[in-house]
Amino acid sequence: MLSNACKYTIRSMLYLALYTDETKKIGVKKIAEDLDTPQPFLAKLLQQLTRSKLVSSTKGPNGGFFLSKKNKEKSVWDIIKSIDGTEKFSQCFLGLSKCDDENPCPVHSIVTPFKQRILEDFRDKTILQWAEEIKKSGTVLSLRDFDAFKE
């Protein structure tokens, strides 16, 4: 469903939403370590998100990536649009050239409700809302033990 690239960036965005703001930035190296992702690859992806105005960055000492207030109003759907594109979400699970209710494939009625449910979250919730829910629910962005404020 999602490419590795997209998985890395979604988790990075949520991580940045939780641990950064205009005054607190984090470099790729630390992000990649904390989230267990390939560092140079993630750097490329974050650059792309920066170009699409989804994340902010500054160079030099104490520089790094962060999410501004505005960045935090974006949705996961915006990330997906920027990295993977959204075609996969409208495609048939079994590869029919079109997925619709008129000519459903045998799994259409199982897959469609799920897609709608997850799409709802991806499109309608802001990154900030995601971050708040993560804090409340105790869900995780990495299985690695890390402290975002260390060093």
Residue ranges that bind its own copies, judged by CB under 8 A: 1-2, 4, 7-8, 10-11, 14, 36-37, 93-98, 103-108, 110-111, 114, 117-118, 121, 130, 133-134, 137, 139-143
Residue 61's binding partner among DNA, its own copies, ligand FES, none (Cβ under 5 to 8 angstroms by kind) is DNA
In this chain, which stretch among 31-39, 56-64, 107-115, 127-135 interacts with ligand FES, using CB under 6 A?
107-115
Residue 121's binding partner among DNA, ligand FES, its own copies, none (Cβ under 5 to 8 angstroms by kind) is its own copies
Closest CA to 48 of 79, 14, 88, 91: 79
Task: Verify binding: residue 35, ligand FES, rule CB under 6 A.
Answer: no
58, containing H or E segment: strand 56-58
**Could you give the CA distance from residue 42 to residue 70 in angstroms, rounded to a whole number?**
22
Q: Partners of 66 in the beta sheet?
A: 56
Amino acid at 64: G
Q: What is the DSSP letter of 97?
A: S
> Interface residues for DNA in 41-80 (CB under 7 A)?
41, 43-44, 46-47, 50-51, 57-65
127: Cβ–Cβ under 8 A, 6 or more apart, which residues?
A: 13, 14, 17, 67, 71, 72, 73, 74, 75, 76
Nearer to DNA, 98 or 136 (CB): 98
